[in-house]
Amino acid sequence: MPEGRTYGWVRVEDGAGNRHLVYVPANEVAGHKVGDILGFTVSANDKGACARQVEQVEDDEREAAA
């Protein structure tokens, strides 16, 4: 997250290779760093798609998804 901002954007890619930006409040990604693989629920707010319930994906979940 940009320093001093209360929100940012998470880039996600769907199965067809399309990239999407999803709004995420800074408190949802606190403690995570660039490059972490995260899972989250997508909801909608006045800014569009919004990430909620953000959690880091464990290694065994990564392998199952591949």
CB 1 within 8 A of CB 26: yes
Answer whether residue 61 shows pLDDT above 70.
no
* Domain, as residue range, for 16: 7-65
| Residue matched to tokens 């990564």 | 62
Residue 60 inside a domain? The answer is yes
Identify whether 2 is part of a domain.
no
Note whether residue 1 is domain-resident: no
Whether the Cβ atoms of residue 31 and residue 3 lie closer than 8 Å to each other? no
Q: Is 59 inside a domain boundary?
A: yes
CATH classification at residue 17: 2.40.50
Residue 34, domain member (yes or no)? yes
Work out the percent of the chain whose per-residue pLDDT is above 70.
Answer: 83
DSSP 12-60: EE-TTS-EEEEEEEHHHHTT--TT--EEEEEEEETTEEEEEEEEEPPHH
Domain count, the chain: 1
Lowest mean pLDDT among 1-5, 27-31, 43-47: 1-5
Provide the 8-state DSSP code for 61: H
pTM (whole model) above 0.75 = no
